[in-house]
Structure 1
């Protein structure tokens, strides 16, 4: 049972659903996007309860405190019990604000918007269906 008590960081990040695949978690460790006390962590590093890891995933940055060890990937509700997200509020707000500013630009030469494109534009503008495109008065 001594083998079961050791858990690699790449497997842990995959099990708690930070990364979609274990390969992505391994690649993130190799690229230096997983840190412990400012130092890069190798994929084979053994996770210990109470440690705080800094994980960068695209523009998102998280600080995760280990509260338990999960050896297998489980559903999201169970996975949350194995870590505590201690990311500062301003960091989380900055990440979320990047998605709240829709860009309504179209490349030149793409032609008229398709029906699907019009629906997506209407959803972005929160208009009634066809309200943006119709010139009629209500």
Structure 2
């Protein structure tokens, strides 16, 4: 099966076109070699790809006939991605929320003035 179809079938990408774009950007490797979308994958192949700031590493266990449900994905692949990478992504998300809550929009003029007062207050104390 083609690598683009395989990654689409095991639900790592929403469309095959997204997989093709990732291949063109050299984000996908099969057994350590950069893969084109038409590269064939077989059981026991190691597929590595970068998506959402995480480098996933999976082992192909079996080839699905077509796109499978989310509960059946583990039959066709073994995920070798380290859990530390997912923890690091969570820390990145939390650090972004620390500065400004999601959905609050752009800072208002009052927010900017409050921030300016905080900055000036720290300089005067030094």
Q: TM-score, normalised by structure 1?
A: 0.68
- 1:80 and 1:52 map into 2 onto residues whose CA distance is 15
2:94 aligned counterpart, secondary structure: coil
Q: What do residues 36-64 of structure 1 show as CA deviations (whole Å, max 9, x unaligned)?
A: 24321010001110011111013121101
Q: Residues 111 and 93 (structure 1 numbering): CA distance in 2 closer, same or farther, change over 3 Å?
A: same
The answer to whether structure 1 residue 77 and structure 2 residue 71 are counterparts is yes
Gaps in structure 2 of 5+ consecutive residues: 112-126
Question: CA contact under 8 A between 1:36 and 1:53: conserved in structure 2?
Answer: yes
The answer to whether structure 1 residue 12 and structure 2 residue 6 are counterparts is yes
- What is the CA distance between 1:27 and its match in structure 2? 1.1
Q: Residues 40 and 111 (structure 1 numbering): CA distance in 2 closer, same or farther, change over 3 Å?
A: farther
- 1:53 and 1:73 map into 2 onto residues whose CA distance is 18
> Which consecutive segments of 4 or more residues in structure 1 shift more than 4 A?
none
Compare the two structures and name the one with the higher helix fraction: 2
Q: RMSD in angstroms over aligned alpha carbons?
A: 2.1
Q: TM-score, normalised by structure 2?
A: 0.74
The answer to whether structure 1 residue 107 and structure 2 residue 114 are counterparts is no
Gaps in structure 1 of 5+ consecutive residues: 1-6, 113-138
- What is the CA distance between 1:22 and its match in structure 2? 0.8
Q: What do residues 4-32 of structure 1 show as CA deviations (whole Å, max 9, x unaligned)?
A: xxx10000000000000111011111111
- 1:45 and 1:110 map into 2 onto residues whose CA distance is 54
Question: CA contact under 8 A between 2:47 and 2:57: conserved in structure 1?
Answer: yes
- What is the CA distance between 1:35 and its match in structure 2? 0.9
- What is the CA distance between 1:75 and its match in structure 2? 1.0
The answer to whether structure 1 residue 32 and structure 2 residue 22 are counterparts is no
